[in-house]
Amino acid sequence: MTTENKILTSELKDQATKIMAQYDQPRSAVLPILHLVQNTYGCITCEAETEIAALLQMPIVDMKEIVTFYTLFRSRPCAKVEFNVCRTLSCMLRGGEEIIDHLKEKLGIQPGEQTSDGKFGLHLVECLGACETAPTAQINESYVGGLTKEKIDQIISGKTK
């Protein structure tokens, strides 16, 4: 019995097949295909995981491990402004905890959540490789270091205008 794919449309499946042709094993194409799907839909849903796993002939549990291991894959669409705050040692020693608490209070959300209007999302991530500017966050595509509560307030008010 064949089931119709809802995520992997024929066009996406064609693109995925071309990617798979570049590798010896189908499952080796998992990361570029996950990027392809996330770039198309903004996230990787459970349905997408199932369809991609079937295409790559890999167990769904392996697919879930990959999607949850890499913080750049999301199970829901991105907020307009995503705060990815570093929670690793250098940032924690330089006030990262306060920055995280301030963001939680200011936005009224916990890490892994987004505001009900979809404007802001908060995530805790491992070292961003910018320890010299700790505490640091990746805010959408930009790295912002030397974070203070005041700087966070300015960023939030600038993004809500």
Residues belonging to the binding site are: 86, 91, 127, 131
Among 32, 130, 138, 151, binds ligand FES (CB under 6 A): 130
Among 36, 54, 78, 127, binds ligand FES (CB under 6 A): 127
Q: Choose among 78, 65, 93: nearest CA to 38.
A: 78
CB burial readout 21-40, b (16+ within 10 A) else e: eeeeebbebbeebbebbbee
Site string for ligand FES, 40-79 (x = CB under 6 A): ----------------------------------------
| Nearer to ligand FES (CB atom), residue 37 or residue 100 | 100
| Nearer to ligand FES (CB atom), residue 19 or residue 86 | 86
Element holding 138 (H helix, E strand): strand 137-139
Contact yes or no for 107/120 (Cβ under 8 A): yes
